[in-house]
Structure 1
């Protein structure tokens, strides 16, 4: 599973990076995938998200992780996580494995590519009985060239046993997470993909 995802992540990261010609310094954006890139991720994963970032030289490291909430309460702050050096620009891929009807688990995969190097992390989430029978919605932030300052929520996957009028998290949530945490209360389970860019010890020095 991890080797398969790594191949997929590499393919999508390389292709998407080539298409990103309008980047702005210290920002992150959702990637508009080509038909081929969409096909690769659709075939190999259940849900997937791809982001491109562009950073100044003072930023040396990127942390990406997944948090789990149940009815608005944080129950696991590190479902999966990765910390890797970054430089100038790069991409992030987050993908979940396809459901297997006979097995109640799912893999959460994260890949980061920057300056010709790629790192990945895969974690198998078990005891998901019933989750595959719930309705789900997913989404990411809509803002182009979003500032990388502080802790970011990049994407969400939400599950609910009550699908009446179910909708994804608002864009206001991504812009002001603390002020809109109440949005998580209406879902049985929510997974949030978070990221933080870290300045090196000598960041800003010439």
Structure 2
């Protein structure tokens, strides 16, 4: 597990050095990874998401955390969380490993890199659900230069024991508080959120 953590931390640092220089100030964007970057991430993780941010000097820190919902109800508001200082440009990387111990344990890796350095955390969660036996869908905030004002939904991973399932709507990303009923159709949903603070 320590080797996986070290690989993810190294990747956070490497990808952070490649942060998009064309970003507008006080924005966050989903990163389109190269084939090589995807290959590196897929050797160390099951699902992964990368975002570049660009902030002005008013912003001092960023908080990133994972929330867990079961059948639409919040059951854990911070399975994994990380707060770190920010300075100008940086990247947020979120990765999970395959569920293990019969699909009942999920590991979350969060890394934040920027001009000021790098911070990362690795946490595991044991669940009563066999996630391996469920269908899953995942998605992230799409596009470039989203405002960093307020609480942001960056990505989600959803599991369902039903026969068919679809991803969360784009409306959910635009207004997750007003569209929380969408989570009721899944057995388990993990939401990756972030907030930039002045």
Q: TM-score, length-normalised on structure 2?
A: 0.93
Instruction: Quote the Cα distance in structure 2 between the aligned partners of 1:149 and 1:157.
Output: 23
- Deviating beyond 4 angstroms after TM superposition, the runs of 4 or more aligned structure 1 residues are none
**How far did 1:131 drift?**
1.6
Moved more, 188-197 or 175-184: 175-184
**How far did 1:104 drift?**
3.0
What does 1:97-108 align with in structure 2 at a 5 Å threshold?
A: 97-100=97-100, 102=102, 104-108=104-108
**How far did 1:27 drift?**
0.3
Instruction: Quote the Cα distance in structure 2 between the aligned partners of 1:60 and 1:102.
Output: 41
Instruction: Quote the Cα distance in structure 2 between the aligned partners of 1:183 and 1:161.
Output: 16
**How far did 1:17 drift?**
4.1
CA RMSD of aligned residues (A): 1.7
- 2:20 is matched with 20
1:197 matched to 2:187? The reply is no
SS of match in other structure, 2:18: helix
Instruction: Quote the Cα distance in structure 1 between the aligned partners of 2:102 and 2:130.
Output: 12
Contact 1:62 1:196 in 2 (8 A): yes
**How far did 1:170 drift?**
1.1
Contact 1:9 1:93 in 2 (8 A): no
Instruction: Quote the Cα distance in structure 2 between the aligned partners of 1:157 and 1:112.
Output: 20
Instruction: Quote the Cα distance in structure 1 between the aligned partners of 2:44 and 2:55.
Output: 30
**How far did 1:132 drift?**
1.2
Count of residue pairs brought into register by the alignment: 198
**How far did 1:60 drift?**
0.4
Contact 1:12 1:37 in 2 (8 A): no
Moved more, 123-132 or 183-192: 123-132
- 1:59 is matched with 59
What does 1:1-206 align with in structure 2 at a 5 Å threshold?
A: 1-15=1-15, 17-18=17-18, 20-100=20-100, 102=102, 104-164=104-164, 166-199=165-198
Q: TM-score, length-normalised on structure 1?
A: 0.90
CA separation of 1:103/1:142 partners in 2, compared to 1, >3 Å: closer, same or farther? closer
Contact 2:93 2:110 in 1 (8 A): yes
